[in-house]
Chain A
Amino acid sequence: MLVHYLPLIIMIAIGAIFGLTNIIMAEILGPKRSTRAKLSTYESGMEPVKSARERFTVKFYLVAMMFILFDIEVVFMYPWAVQFKSLGMYGFTAMILFMVLLFSGYLYVVKKGALKWD
């Protein structure tokens, strides 16, 4: 059975080797005439002001958090969807209950304005 997944591992290896070759080609081929100006960070022709790595708004963090929670919900749906026809009405009710609970949480999140970008 594990053998069925071998192509995936082979393909990951091929992809990594291909990417690596491209990067090495980029390093080897081509001229190397670097100057200080060339190596400075691009900032529309100005001297870069301060570091780029400043703190960002907490909203990005919030979106990632919401994503994890809903992603787990989605993951629960795959085994259910695959078995839907044999579970029938019973499975449908179980999932609707699950979804209603999470959807009320979703409504709370929207009401609180956690997903508002302005």
Chain B
Amino acid sequence: MDMHVLLFALFAVGAVASAVLTVTRRNPVASAMSLVAHFFMLSGLYLTLEAQFVAAVQVLVYAGAIMVLVVFVVMLLNLGNEHRLQERSSLRSVMGTLIAALFAVQVIITLLAHPTGMNAMSPQALTIGTTESIGQTLFTTYLFPFEAVSLLLLAALIGSVILAKRHVK
């Protein structure tokens, strides 16, 4: 069997399994760790698409930064008895199932629309995913969005301080 397909299967199954674990675990820390594993699998999937930079950033930012915050919150809040937190109403679970079903239909339609073209990769994929080419396009074609991001980050910075400051003082 082709190594490429084998690895894709490994990451895809791993990603789905860890995602399911994230949702089903009662223990919040177990959930968070499954999500970290899920991000690793996603990073592997990016690698199969030759998106090297995105794959590394996936781990660096999501698994290494955002999930640290989640783990902190889990430890800070110490919800304690998880049974108390169980959903009483089933409205949310019904809605969740509905949205998941809709998404599944969407995926199936997409797959049916491209019965053959899905596995063909653009020949440029090899060079597009490198850090160098991302740097080149980011600072020429997409310069404005890049500068806009700094404003977004600034707003987030100020917002988080304002939110947290209420509790510090």
Contact = CB atoms under 8 A, between A and B. Distances in A.
A and B directly contacting (CB within 8 A)? yes
Interface of A: 1-3, 5-6, 9, 53-56, 58-62, 64-69, 71-73, 75-76, 78-83, 86-87, 90-91, 94, 97-98, 101-102, 104-106, 108-109, 112-114
A53 B75 contact: yes
B109 interface: no
Most buried by A among B7, B143, B168: B168
Listed from nearest, the 4 A-B pairs whose CB atoms lie closest are: A79-B135, A83-B135, A105-B157, A64-B69
Contacts of B107: none
A78 B131 contact: yes
B165 A98 contact: no
Interface residues of B, number: 49
B164 A61 contact: yes
A1 B50 contact: yes
B85 interface: no
A86 B137 CA distance: 12
A114 B153 contact: no
Contact of A76 (B44, B52, B126, B146): B146
A87 B139 contact: yes
Nearest to A80: B135
Given A68-B66, A69-B157, A101-B150, 10 more contacts: A2-B3, A58-B168, A61-B69, A73-B150, A73-B153, A78-B131, A80-B138, A83-B132, A86-B136, A109-B157
A2 B50 contact: yes
Contacts of A1: 50, 126
Contact of A114 (B126, B134, B164): B164
B146 A94 contact: yes
B65 A76 contact: no
B72 A59 contact: no
B92 interface: no
Nearest to A116: B168
Contacts of A71: 60-61, 64-65
Contacts of B147: 94, 97-98, 101
Contacts of A60: 72, 76
B69 A68 contact: yes
A74 to B, nearest CB: 9
A105 B154 contact: yes
Interface in B56-70: 57, 60-61, 64-66, 68-69
B158 interface: yes
Contacts of B146: 76, 94, 98
Contact of B136 (A54, A83, A112): A83
Given A60-B72, A61-B164, A65-B160, A5 B131 contact: no
